Chain A
Amino acid sequence: MKVEIRVYPRHDVLDPQGKAIAAALTRLGHRSVTDVRAGKVFFVEVEGSDTSEIVRDAKKMAEELLANTVIEGYDVRVVP
């Protein structure tokens, strides 16, 4: 199975990278852009077929390593 873990700056934390990207998009003429937050996606291959267990494990991976929860949020999605 594949699981996707998205990690991104929390909404109450300033994201300098997202701000710079938003400014660049605006300069390119994408005038509808009002905000960008830049994050990361981890594509993780796992063994097993119990979706709820995979989600539980993936959340643990995010908490322990992939996200720094002081400044980042995360979400988890099992890819069929």
Chain B
Amino acid sequence: MKFAIVVFPGSNCDADCFHIAKDLLGCEAGYVWHKETDLKGADAVILPGGFAYGDYLRAGALARFSPVMDSVAEFARAGGPVLGICNGFQVLLEAGLLPGAVRPNKTLRYICRDIFMRVESSDTAFTRLYEPGQIVKMPIGHGEGNYTAPPETMEELRRERRVVFRYCDEQGRVNEAGNPNGAAENIAGIANREGNVVGLMPHPDRCSEGLLGNDVGRKMFESVVTALAAR
């Protein structure tokens, strides 16, 4: 089992993902520079958080044209599991591998704190070890996470149960109070139709070991290991 961690100029959570894959899960892990096109035989790809290309123009807008993204798209089309975390999610949206877009946060502020979210679907490569309805606490750190999509896309996401996480309050109520950034229908993360591509604004990579006071995010990485083992 080998993870490829894509590194764009400005990625800054790549080492965290590498550490989780290699040191915590005991898997193989390798960095793939954005100018490379060879995913080096990886079984799963992670687009990490950060500020690819300094978020110039729009978050993720320039990163999607990096050579590596053609390979990532091809890998995803062939059913390979791809996880986009925070800025990685923004890149997946800009690349059209997931539908919709993110706007600046409703508060216009960069928000860096713990949030709660409800697991809406455990039917993806990265959430199969969570219980549907489970409430998880994860940190966020973003200025543009206010998810939106055209009405027909929202309808499709609901119908196909592709909303993976929704922001909620500590009791698990999906409401305004639990929504940090104004995201439509409290959406924190979504998946593609096949469930192999998942993107979310919160950071599972920042809560994957007890040392950090929270290890609930680790299940996202463990999920894909078990998903691939089950194939």
Seen from chain A, the residues whose Cβ lies within 8 Å of a Cβ on chain B are 9, 13-17, 20, 65-66, 68, 70-71
A-B contact pairs, 27 of them (CB 8 A): A9-B103, A13-B103, A13-B148, A14-B103, A14-B106, A14-B148, A14-B182, A15-B103, A16-B104, A16-B105, A16-B106, A16-B107, A16-B108, A16-B146, A16-B182, A17-B104, A17-B108, A20-B108, A65-B61, A65-B65, A66-B57, A68-B61, A68-B101, A70-B101, A70-B149, A71-B103, A71-B148
- Does B2 touch A at the CB level, under 8 Å? no
State the main secondary structure of chain B at its contact with A: loop
Contacts of A20 in B (CB 8 A): 108
Q: Which residues of A contact B182 (CB under 8 A)?
A: 14, 16
Considering the complex, give the chain A residue whose CB is closest to the CB of B102.
A71
User: Bound complex: CA of A56 vs CA of B135, how far in Å?
Assistant: 50
Among A9, A20, A70, A71, the most chain B Cβ lie within 10 Å of the Cβ of A70
Looking across the interface, which residue of chain B has its beta carbon closest to that of A70?
A: B101
CA distance A20 to B106 in the complex (A): 10
